[in-house]
Amino acid sequence: MRSLERIDQWPAPHAAAAVVRADGTVAGSHGDTARTFRLASVTKLLTAYAALIAVEEGVVELDTPAGPEGATIRHLLAHTAGLGFDSDRVMAPPGTRRMYSNAGFQVLGDALAEHSGIPFAEYLSEAVLAPLGMTSTRLAGSPGAGGVSSVDDLVRFAAELQAPKLLDPATLRAATTVAFPGLSGVLPGLGHQKPNDWGLGFEIRDSKSPHWTGAGSSPRTFGHFGQSGTFLWVDPDAAAACVVLTDLDFGPWAIEAWPPFTDAVLAELRAG
């Protein structure tokens, strides 16, 4: 796909990208797709998937208490537990505000470890990484931002997100539907959004503006971006997903480069 060549013009020292169709085939790739990169908050997609598997396995329920008083696994996944961005300070009652929280995902990982009886990194590996053959992916830090992976591995995960085999498709559909609708909040790096729609670990595009995906991205698009200059989106209407990993931290360059990149990818997909 010629649209992927745009990453060569970005200021990142290294960048790699791939587009994955809904049937799991790779429509195109560019760059060193075997190179490992820090995922930053794209890690949250892997953690959320492990949490959903834990729910299906009966390790926890979405309404299992976790975190601040009155909060649950569901609240932590949807960034509505009321915890601060990077602290355990309770900023709001659960379910009342969308407060993006790395701390909340640390609490989530701790809760899953407690209920499963094994360290979260091990649970993630056994539940998600090993079954998908993601051999270059590991959790090297927090469940919210400590992942390391390659485009090749995330291609496998992007295929899973479009045709789940580890989860009941109905579970994934529910997780990529807005949880606690109508809540406003700050989308990191892009400002206040009203509403700031989120699923269970998955950010949902809806009508957000500005946004890190494209103007042509469907409202049903879901995924995540990371502070390390990474993103993964799935656009069900386009029947495709896109993975981009770089080693240049998110900033104005990304706000300028990512949306037209996504629009170019979508246009090329439509053109066949």
pLDDT at 81: 97
pLDDT at 149: 98
**Tokens read off for 144:** 């919210």
pLDDT at 20: 98
Amino acid at residue number 151: V
Secondary structure (DSSP) of 112-146? HHHHHSS-HHHHHIIIIIHHHT-TT-EE-S-TTTB
pLDDT at 190: 86
Report d(CA 233, CA 101) in Å as an integer.
20
From the first residue on, what is the mean pLDDT of each consecutive set of 10 residues in the chain (272 residues)?
A: 98 98 97 98 98 98 97 98 92 95 98 98 98 98 97 98 98 97 90 94 95 97 98 98 98 97 98 88
pLDDT at 187: 87
Residues 6+ apart with CB under 8 A from 188: 41, 100, 227
Say whether 102 sits in a helix, a strand or coil.
Answer: helix
pTM metric for this prediction: 0.97
The alpha carbon torsion through 33, 39, 42, 46 (nearest 10 deg) reads 80
Please work out, in degrees rounded to the nearest 5, the angle formed at the alpha carbon of residue 251 by the alpha carbons of 248 and 256.
105
